[in-house]
Structure 1
Amino acid sequence: MRAARRDADCEAIRAPRLYACVRFPPGGDDLRGGSATAGGAHMATRGGRAAPAVLMAARRATETDRELLDRFTAGDDAAFAALVARHTGMVLGVGRRVLPTVQDAEDACQATFLILAQKAGTVKWQASVANWLYGTARRIAARANRAARRRVRREARPAPPDVPSALDQMTGREAFAALDAELDRLPPIYREPLVLCHLEGLARDEAAARLGVPPATLKSRLDRGRKRLADALGKRGIGLGAGLLAVAATSPAGASPPRLTESVLAAVRGSPPDAVAALAREVAVTSWKLRGLLAVAAAAAGLGLALAAGTNPDPQKQTDKAEKSATKADAPPAKAGERTVRGTVLGVDGKPVAGAKIFRPALKGPRLTSPSDIVMTEVARTDAAGQFHATLTDKSPYDYLIAQAPGAGIDWVESPAGEVTLRLVPDVPIRGRVITTEGKPAPGVSVTAVGVYVPLNEKLDDYLTGWKASLHEAMSSPTKRVYVPPTAITGAATTDADGRFTLSGLGGERIVHLVVEGGGTARQNPMVITRSGFDPKPYNDVLLRKEHQDLRELNHFRGLNGPDPTLVAERGKTIEGTVLDAATGKPVAGAAVSTPTGFGDALAAVTGADGKYKLVGVAKRPKGYGVHVQMPGGGGYMSSSGTAADTDGFAPVALDIKLARGVVVTGRVIDKQTGKGVRAGVRLAPLPGNAFFGKGPGSDSYRSDKTMRSTDKDGKFRLTTIPGQSLLMVQVFGDETFNGAHLNPYRGAEPDPAHKELFRYDPDDDTWMVTAAGGSVEFLGTEHAVRVVDLKETGETDVEVTVDRGRTGRIEVQDADGKPLTGAFVAGVTASWPITYKLPESSATIYALSPDKPRTIAVYHPAKNLGAVATIRGDEKEPVVVKLAAAGTVTGRFVDADGVALAGAEVTVNARQRVFSELYRFAVKERPQTVTDAKGGFTLPAVVPGMAFYLQIRKGEQYFGGKPKLGPVTLKPGETNAFGDRTLEVLR
């Protein structure tokens, strides 16, 4: 296929590949990046050499908080003293803004550090603990304030501050309470720079080094944090905005009394005052990412209302009320195999939602055969401040938390950890009707939502534009998905006597995947766009194109629907039979039997003790039926498939299938850098010359079953297959993100060095290929490791496979004047699809690099029409600067073979290298489509300089090419390439 394509006119469209969509439970270890250190330090010297104590102090001055805590847990008390010196001022300042006396504030400060010391060796800390200390200090101060008020009431006398502070001299103590509340509400990525730079008084470069980020990144986060804070305070009627921070910094880093530092260290060494010990015992803080504490959220809500009304409320009453809620929401310490997730649920108005339910999916039994096998367990409910905590085990194969509240659309998070925020969205109910092929109502039909997808960047218009440009790519572009039936929460539906149904709570501006079955109908899988008034016709017309025939036929895909669909239900058929042991002829119980029914969907059943199965609701297929059988977990049997011809009318189809025993392959997928197992998909392809291929039932199942099997969370797998030489392929799932989109940080697969002769390289796609048994070709574009294995005829073969993250590098994107530029698209961010991302900042990390194989990256900024091509290796000591230049333009005029102007033809870039084609696929969505005018003329802008490309011309279903060919062309910055008048001929 590839050879044929190379011999064809390169101007023809590159036919998109079809990949089987196989979904696995997400997972993987929580791997965090390293830290950075600041520049040199001034050191006293003795005899030309630095004194050891001074050297140690200088080193601690550049170490991250995490490194200091690591040293402390290893027995270095001086490391903890250095950490206390860094943060005592900020922690004390938090207490002084809340508590009535200096002594109370100092007790709260000691208690905060006492808890830090107790948790030092039990938490995976970030580079800086300022966020954690700030949140913990806020919580302790609130509790201490409550105790102080009780003490005042007991003593029947006021307790004024010992020394008037800037805070106490103001009439706006409420303003500072609101300031701290809004700081707590900020995402940690913005709050921590504000805490370090404003409350601790660090310079920007110092704060950047402390957090392990470039100064430019720190500046960007500071600016955004200040703006968010000012906006939030402005809504409360506090016009000072971020300027309050300057006044709030009553005790910057290094300004706390030396006696307090000694008191803190004494408390940590085991001699805390009773009041300090009591505070530390009362506050159970189990997360190092505390954000939006319950007490703060409730107090902030009350203060906001009161200040807006021009009143002067007692902030402590708000704190007392919030503390009651906080006590209820405190999670008990997690047991082995458990983790605690805290979070906030926000409504469609952005305000906390009380009483929202938090669900987690689970399987009723050992395996999934239908959507009804998945149940939703309520694991938490939000309190009055919209806060919740949930204790989760690692046993569920579906690692989601889903938030639901009446009248709104759900939100969810995948692989939740630490602190999360769930935002409910406005709902657009799906109100549809199911009719028969005769146009009559179809009552008693079940309608279930089995998946909800959020478009890339949460912009449905981008998704729909991409649908028209590249249907296959659009269908795989949503980045946030929930693959379990949310109607288990929101409610499924069954059509009434008139065939009507309603589904609510799935959310607007989304793509909803439905399963419609039952009532004697054939199972179908419509996709619904939940946008009011959505007209699907312009998008479904794309399906009529010749290149999408495979999608229509193989997946029975009928296109998109609006939120008020009329679905035509065909009459269903039944496939039934028995699964038998190939050697003994005895029935096989517990086998999973399935047949595909549509886009990413299948009817499934499990054989009983008699080996029998029945698949009900299969669409009539004149070309015949295929059924696949496998034993969950291998079971010693190889998977097998069977086919059967269609029967007259709707008579049942009978199909018995034999299963044969095979050999077992066990192993583990290991991260080279960490030595830990990783979640991945694993599969085997028998290689040419394997004498066992095609010899007996199931021995050639590779022809029809190329599904990957999932490893467990430790990377372990177990497969059953034929003996002989096979190619083991591994695809790591990866659960990391880049600007909110999925990112896989692993290098692509390289040939097995012991069998290089089996591999060939495709330079167009930068992909290795292997020919498998039966002449099938494996393109290793999505795999992260491969290994040729010789499997024994008896016993088990154990294989260990290593996946490599490679190196990382940094780029800095600049405009034509050399100034940092945000908002550019970069293709080549990592080695595995997707490789293109939009940068929220001017700098970015590039993943999975290898110095011996430099990577080409392509950058384009749609708003400014600037682009560039660059190379990065991963061993550079400084970020690679990518200076953008004006994009190029192509002009010309096309006529057909008869000399008639080719009007209304789409003209696009067809780049040969994957990095260029991927960049253009994203960039073109940001600009209007180029179409030839009535005279056949066109102007194609936005061509990235340095990018080699051809022109692709299409009108309807016809593609055109020229002689000589329309490329390859590479433009210089700002260059206009005039093709002139060209005569084109139909390619296909």
Structure 2
Amino acid sequence: MKFGTGFLIAGQFRRRTYYRQRAARGRSFALNRWAALYIVAAAVWLSAGQLNAQGPASTSQAKAEPLAPLQQESSQTPADDPPVQAEAPARETDCNEKPLPEKDPFDRGFGEVEVPGRVIDAQGKPVAKAQIFWKNWGVRVPVRKALSDEDGHFVISTFRQNPAIGANRRLDPDEINKNRLLKTSIIATAPGYGFGTVIDGDGITIQLVPDDPIVGRVLNESGQPVRGAKVRVRDVLWPRRDNDPIVQLENRQGDGSVVPVPAGEGLDPWLSAIRQAANMNDYFVARQYVVGLIQANFLGNRPAVYAPLVPPVVTDDEGHFELRGVGRERVAELYIDGVPDHASVLVLVANRLLESPIVVAAQSESVKKLISNPGRDLTVFGRQLELTLPAGRTIQGVVTDRGTGLPLSGLRVVGPAVTRIEYPGYDRFFTTTDHEGRYRIESFPLTQQAFFKVEAGQDRDLEPIDPEELPYFSREITLNVAAGTGVIQADVPLSRGIWITGKVVDDVSGEGLMDATVEYHVFNDNPHLKSELERNSPPEFETGVRTKEDGSFRLRALPGRGIVTANGFRYLEGIGADAIKGLKNDEYRETLYQPGGFSPYIRSTTIEVNIDDETATYECELRLVKGKSRVVTVIDPSGEPLTDLEASGLNHQVENPISKIQGDMLDITNLYPGERREVVARSVSRKLMGMALVTDEGDDPITLKLQHWASVSGRLVDDAGEPRSSGLRIQLDDGKLPIHTLNGLQYDKQEFLIDAEGKFEIVGMVPGAAYRLSVIEGGVLWLGNATNIFSLKPGEVRQLGDVKVMKRE
């Protein structure tokens, strides 16, 4: 996000968490979020020891109809989005017919396993000829696997990774129930219904839902109908229920809803919250009342997951369209685009009748004045809608080698997300250069400053180019997408750098460290950097590169002076930084090129590199040093040991936010010389909490006695005594990070909801710790403090009464 002059970011640079998260994110928060959850999902999958998480086997696709051929990935037709066309009639198949004897790329030599199931309707009656799809992380588009028979039964087959299971074995309900990811990976569709997912219970039972068609009309800004606009699904959301296997899988990993879901039928709670939403922050709270395949993260990470489930449609000569298959009492996030000189729009459609559309502002007007790109407002329609496509432009260009002028193929060109619910490079406005280095992004909205990035990493889904030949720097360009017709030409030459190769090792054992993060940064006075800037070609350097199993890594760098820095789990930080000219704590922000959230003092080890112009590859080694460890024993108020524990501060002051503890002892590692670390522990079942101050001095165990936690509540009012709530939240300053409350939002400085009457409540605070409450607008604008610094006694439930925003000093 780019901020306007004078913009105040709440809590900016006041916690080292901000820098840590920025440094660890790599390319973007969104991508790493999906990657992290992918690892979690894979772990769940492998722990069950059943099936191959990489996707369906083609040998079993003899039971299914072939999917349409895939197109080149682009902003309008992603590589996993079949072209819009009339679907061929379903071929009746025998669910038990033998698969074709061809080699499958996912076959690990462990044979095939069969998964039986049944499809029913809302009344529990069997549904015949329903199409059964399999979707998992290994494939982008769900693969059609089988048709249900007259009794609704079906069998799908896939390869598994557990060689202990004999070949051609059919899983029984107990084996299926052990694997939550398996149950959420099977989806069914049938004409006249909304697609169905597995419901709670033994085995695989998929329940289709009643469907009402979403009908609409698309017009241009002159009020004329738009023909040929493409209407496609981004995500489908339905009311969150505890008995939904997708919700159960989320809850098992701790990634489910963090706010209570109000009682109500269908979409009523969600719509009520949406109508009251002052901005997108409130929208994200309401979004926790619903769940979807993409939102849940376990069944894919991009809109094409829905391509065969709810096929896209196009508008006719009068601009009309009819979209079927979403399902009644669900919410469809729809992209409508594909028309030259018209922008792509994202709308939400609640599949019920609404009296009028609901507009959710991206930010309040006061915040919009201070942010250069606050995002687009979001409109929620009912299932009968009419909307206008605003003007837009097509952006195209050629990506080349700056020195030779030769085209560079297979590189991703990613535009910005124009709404706050999207992820750059996953939803729209992205593409991949072809064999002539050309790219094209259509239907981009008119924007004064739009940031497009050419990513130097090879697209994973294309035939890879030898990376030794591609030490190019990613590059961001800024475009003014003004009103007009035709294309905007934006060619992008990329500069070559030099590979830095090396290893990250443990200082004592010398063994390579896997999954350490490595970064390169260059100094502002580097003459090669100055040359790039003079050519208006600012390079982008890699962050968050992870080491391989042996600790090896490779980074792109410029000749001349720079630094390489590594970070490892449970290792000291700041090693080597003070010895490098220009890296002292009060200097590095001025001497390094665009450090952003980077700090060498929150990285484990930093070394200086000075690369000769003629060097082909520069080699180096980074040695990570471990800090001291201490033990903390946790007891309850009566002195008895506690075992039902969660704790933070075990390995660092702000990392590892909530760790479940086995036993009553906390292992505190990586203590700095002179560090005073706040270690927080709690027992949720007994409502106990406490904090210990742990240093590197001494070796004896430390005893932490938990006490009954405290809470605070109040009411935010204006000068006239009227409640304030719209677009505002209470923020907890000076809290003990990051496990000090139960009902907080965000990670760093936790925020708390304010209801329509101005009331707020904070539950689970550390007795005796110092706190202060602030008021935040739009999640970013600090309005002022609501209290002075205070502390609470064990078990205290303090009523603050009416509080106001205090005048700034």
1:496 corresponds to 2:315: yes
Out of 954, 966, 969, the position equivalent to 2:787 is 966
TM-superposed CA distance for 1:569, in Å, is 3.0
Correspondence for 1:722: 558
Equivalent position amino acid for 1:493 in 2: P
Query: Separation in 2 of the partners of 1:426 and 1:830?
Result: 47
RMSD: 6.6
Give, as a single letter, the amino acid of the residue that structure 1 aligns with 2:473.
M
| Deviation sequence 1:203-245 (CA, Å, 0-9, x none) | xxxxxxxxxxxxxxxxxxxxxxxxxxxxxxxxxxxxxxxxxxx
Q: Quick one: distance in 2 between partners of 1:486 and 1:976?
A: 47
State whether residues 214 and 351 of structure 2, in contact with CA within 8 Å, keep that contact through their aligned partners in structure 1: no
> How far did 1:904 drift?
3.2
Higher helix share: 1
Which residue pairs with 1:601 in the alignment?
A: 424
Q: Which moved more, 1:922-931 or 1:879-888?
A: 922-931
Equivalent position of 1:486 in the other structure: 305
Alignment of 1:321-360 (within 5 A): 356-360=132-136
Structure 1 counterpart of 2:31, from 16, 23, 31: 23
CA-to-partner distance for each residue in 1:620-652, whole Å, 9 max, x for gaps? 224466453636247133233444444552242
| Contact 1:639-1:698 at 8 Å conserved across structures | no
Q: Per chain length, whose mean CA-contact separation is higher, i.e. which structure has more relative contact order (CA < 8 Å, sep 6+)?
A: 2
Aligned to 1:583: 403
Correspondence list, 1:281-360, <5 A: 356-360=132-136
Note the alpha carbon deviations across 1:429-486, whole angstroms, 9 max, x for none: 6836463453555443334445679776344965878997956986999664421421
Answer with 1 or 2: which has the greater Rg. 1
- For residues 508 and 973 of structure 1, do their structure 2 counterparts lie closer, same or farther at Cα, with a shift above 3 Å needed? farther
Please say which of residues 351-360 and 601-610 is displaced more in the overlay. Answer: 351-360
Counterpart of 1:901 (choices 700, 706, 721) is: 721
Change (3 A) 1:830 1:693: same
C-alpha separation in 2, matches of 1:362 and 1:560? 33
Partner deviation per Cα, 1:126-145 (whole Å, 9 max, x = no partner)? 9xxxxxxxxxxxxxxxxxxx
- Of 188, 191, 201, which aligns to 1:405? 188
Cross-structure match for 1:656: 491
For residues 166-315 of structure 1, what are the structure 2 equivalents within 5 Å?
Answer: none
Q: What CA distance in whole angstroms lies between the structure 2 residues aligned with 1:782 and 1:836?
A: 20
- Is 2:159 the counterpart of 1:390? yes
Change (3 A) 1:569 1:690: same
Task: Give, as a single letter, the amino acid of the residue that structure 2 aligns with 1:570.
Answer: P
For residues 483 and 385 of structure 1, the distance between their equivalents in structure 2, rounded to whole angstroms, comes to: 27
**Residue 527 of structure 2: aligned partner:** 691
Q: Alpha-carbon deviations, 1:240-274, whole Å to 9, x = none?
A: xxxxxxxxxxxxxxxxxxxxxxxxxxxxxxxxxxx
Match of residue 795, structure 1, among 616, 619, 622: 616
Higher normalized strand content (fraction of residues): 2
> Which residue type is aligned with residue 301 of structure 2?
Y
C-alpha spacing 1:914/1:422, structure 2 compared with 1 (3 Å): farther
Name the CA distance, whole Å, in 2 between partners of 1:451 and 1:606: 23
Q: Give the match's secondary structure for 1:628.
A: strand
Contact 1:660 1:697 in 2 (8 A): no
- The SS at the match of 1:435 is strand
Distance 1:780 1:754, change over 3 A: closer
Q: C-alpha deviations, 1:317-341, integer Å up to 9, x for none?
A: xxxxxxx99x99xxx9999967779
Change (3 A) 1:388 1:872: farther
Q: What are the equivalent positions in structure 2 for 1:39-188 lying under 5 Å apart?
A: none
Look up the SS of the partner of 1:753 in the other structure. coil
Matched with 1:751 is 574
- 1:376-455 aligned at under 5 Å gives the runs 376-377=142-143, 389-391=158-160, 402-406=185-189, 431=214, 433=216, 435-438=218-221, 441-449=225-233
Q: In structure 2, what residue type is equivalent to 1:483?
A: N
Q: 1:9 to 1:615 in 2, by over 3 A?
A: closer
What's the secondary structure of 1:692's corresponding residue? helix
| 1:907–1:951 contact (8 Å) kept in structure 2 | no
SS in 1 for 2:360: helix
Helix, strand or coil at the partner of 2:373: helix
Q: Following the alignment from structure 2 to structure 1, what is the Cα–Cα distance between the partners of residues 337 and 776?
A: 39
Q: 1:887, CA displacement in angstroms? A: 1.5
Would the aligned equivalents of 2:431 and 2:440 in 1 still touch at CA under 8 Å?
A: yes
**For 1:886-933, what per-residue CA distance to the aligned partner results, in whole angstroms no more than 9, with x for missing partners?**
41446699774xxx4354356735222461587365389999956797
Q: Secondary structure of the equivalent of 1:486?
A: helix
Residue 573 of structure 1 and its aligned partner are, at CA, apart by 1.0
CA distance in 2, matches of 1:344, 1:832: 46
Change (3 A) 1:499 1:586: same
Give the 3 Å change call, closer, same or farther, for CA 652–387 of structure 1 in structure 2.
closer
Alignment of 1:832-981 (within 5 A): 835-837=656-658, 849-852=669-672, 855-858=677-680, 867-870=689-692, 883-889=706-712, 896=719, 900-901=720-721, 903-904=723-724, 908-913=730-735, 915-916=737-738, 919=741, 922=744, 943-953=765-775, 961=784, 966-975=787-796
Identity %: 14
1:619 has 2:452 as partner: no
Cα-to-partner distance string for 1:75-118 (whole Å, 9 max, x where unaligned): xxxxxxxxxxxxxxxxxxxxxxxxxxxxxxxxxxxxxxxxxxxx
**Deviation (angstroms), 1:856:** 3.2
Please state how far the C-alpha of 1:406 moved relative to its aligned partner. Answer: 2.8
Partner of 1:160: none
Distance 1:648 1:922, change over 3 A: closer
Task: Assess, with a 3 A threshold, how the Cα gap between structure 1 residues 759 and 675 changes in structure 2: closer, same or farther.
Answer: same
Mapping 1:453-464, distance limit 5 Å: 457=251, 458-459=256-257, 462=260
Q: Which residue of 2 aligns with 1:519?
A: 339
1:887 is matched by which residue type in structure 2? Answer: A
The answer to whether the 8 A contact 1:637-1:661 is kept is: yes
Asked if structure 2 preserves the Cα contact closer than 8 Å seen for 1:666 and 1:797, the reply is yes
5+ residue gaps, structure 1, are 34-123, 127-186, 189-284, 288-323, 364-373, 394-398, 413-419, 733-745, 763-767
For the Cα contact (< 8 Å) 2:432–2:439, is it kept in 1? yes
CA offset digits 1:585-610 (Å, max 9, x no partner)? 44445544343253323533444454
Give deviations 1:337-374, integer Å, cap 9, x for gaps.
677796967779999999854345668xxxxxxxxxx5
Aligned-residue offset at 1:819? 9.2
Deviations 1:184-209 (A, max 9, x none): xxx89xxxxxxxxxxxxxxxxxxxxx
Conserved 8 A contact 2:515-2:547: yes
C-alpha contact 1:787 1:801 (8 A) present in aligned 2: yes
Question: How many equivalent pairs are there?
Answer: 653
Aligned pair in 2 of structure 1 residues 890, 749: CA closer, same or farther (>3 Å)? same
Say which SS state the counterpart of residue 532 (structure 2) adopts: coil
* AA matched with 2:445: A
The equivalent position to 1:571 in structure 2, one of 374, 391, 396, is 391
TM-score normalised by length of structure 2: 0.59
Residue number in structure 2 paired with 1:543: 363
Give the counterpart letter for 2:134 in structure 1: I
Residue 453 of structure 2 contacts residue 477 of structure 2 at CA under 8 Å; is this kept in 1?
yes
> Structure 1 residues 665 and 834, CA, compared in 2 at 3 Å: closer, same or farther?
same
Shift of 1:885: 0.5
Cα distance change on mapping 1:888 and 1:492 into 2, 3 Å: same
Corresponding residue of 1:637: 472
Deviation, structure 1 residue 663: 0.8
